[in-house]
Amino acid sequence: MRSAQHGALTKNQELVYDALTDAKGPLSAYAILDGLREHGIRAPLQVYRALDKLLEFGLVHRLESLNSFVACSHPECDSRETMVFTICEKCGKVSELADKAIAGQLQSLADLDHFALKAATVELRGYCQACQTASTQ
Segment 52-92, tens digit of pLDDT: 999 999 899 999 999 999 999 876 665 567 889 999 999 99
Specify the pLDDT at position 134.
86
Specify the pLDDT at position 67.
95
Is residue 76 within 8 A of residue 70, CB to CB? The reply is no
pLDDT less than 70: residues of the chain: 1-7, 75-80
Query: What's the distance, CA 21 to chain centroid?
Result: 10
Question: Mapped to the 3 state alphabet, what secondary structure does 16-84 carry?
Answer: HHHHHHHCCCCECHHHHHHHHHHHCCCCHHHHHHHHHHHHHHCCEEEEHHHCEEEECCCCCHHHCCEEE
User: What are the structural domains, with CATH classification, of the chain?
Assistant: 2-71 (1.10.10.10), 80-136 (3.30.1490.190)
Specify the pLDDT at position 115.
97
Specify the pLDDT at position 7.
65
pTM: 0.84
